[in-house]
Amino acid sequence: MAIKVGIVGYGTIGKRVADAVAMQKDMKLVGVTTHSYSFNTEVAKAKGYKIFTIGDVPDLEPNGITPDGDMNNLLDEADVIVDGTPKDIGRENIEKYYKPRKLKAVVQGGEKHKTTGISFVAQCNYNEAINKDYVRIVSCNTTGLCRTLDAVNKKYGITSVHATMIRRGADPGDIYHGPINAIVPVLEMPSHHGPDVQTVLHNVEIFTTALSVPSTLMHLHTLTVDLKKKASVNDVIELFNNSTRIRVVRNAEHLRSTAEIIEFARDIGRLRGDMPEICVWQEAIGVTSNSHNKLLYMQAIHQESNVIPENIDCIRAMTGFKDVEKSIKMTNETFGIK
């Protein structure tokens, strides 16, 4: 029987998870929430998704949208909720709505690890989420760090990592954080990303720094990784090429920047021009020539989409599907990820 999934919070993440759920053969989208009329509700209606109101939404009917019920109706029908609300509201919703109904819920990276006690990246720790009631998908930056570092750690062993996150200033559709014209360092050491990685890769020693730049398309990470075993550039390229949800991109393809990666994603027909894979630049992979145990690389993170496959695998794990490789394969196929 299909897993019935409801989406609370139909924004950047929620609308993508809704589309992804609708594409899974073993899932059924119950519907999405709204608390005001907008182009998002028009899109949900055009896609045939049921729309459930939060509170009084007087501007829906005059704009030709008849809601299918309120949030309680959505919660009644769903087996699992994916909560895509802004920071802290997911935590409040667990206490207020999901726990009293014994309803399973996935929350997002704006919530703290202690909200659920389990933080998730499918290829790293799927098993920790099996049959759990509340799980947090880590942020886009943490997901990116975990995917590549997990592959490196399994092959070479990691002594320590230093990573710098060069973060986009705002999402493309966000008019509240811009216009922007500054480089803004995160004035705390380490930035929160390092401790967040350890909620998934529990034994990796990592120190992170971060800054934001006036760009909206993607984040870019630079990493320096001290390894337990010697590595070569060619072996690392092969490792990333053979790891799921990591795409090695090349100067030769003229994929030299975040802009060209997003243009490429549009050209290959990805929904919304999304690039859920972590893109590692082949020419920017380096290994120190004297000791061969210091690895350097750069990767680009599409913040709006890389956590979406994670939400799908997490739903399966929480509802008892035990085969991680099969889940990742099923999800990847629907996203067109090799």
Residues designated catalytic: 140
Backbone angles phi, psi at 88, to 5 degrees: 80, -25
User: Residue 203: which residues within 8 A CB-CB, separation 6 or more?
Assistant: none
Q: Which residues would be at the binding site for ligand NAD (CB under 6 A)?
A: 8-14, 33, 35, 54, 84-87, 89, 108-110, 139-140, 171, 303-304, 307
Give the orientation angle of helix 12-23 with respect to helix 324-335, to 10 degrees.
Answer: 100
CA distance 275 to 216: 14
The stretches of the chain forming alpha helices (DSSP H) are 12-23, 39-46, 71-77, 89-93, 122-125, 140-156, 193-197, 233-241, 258-267, 308-318, 324-335
Q: Sort 128 into a burial class: Cβ within 10 Å, 0-12 / 13-18 / 19+.
A: middle
For residues 53 and 67, is the Cβ–Cβ distance under 8 A?
Answer: yes
Please state the closest distance from residue 173 (CB atom) to ligand NAD, in A: 8
79/83 with CB nearer ligand NAD: 83
For residues 68 and 29, is the Cβ–Cβ distance under 8 A?
Answer: no
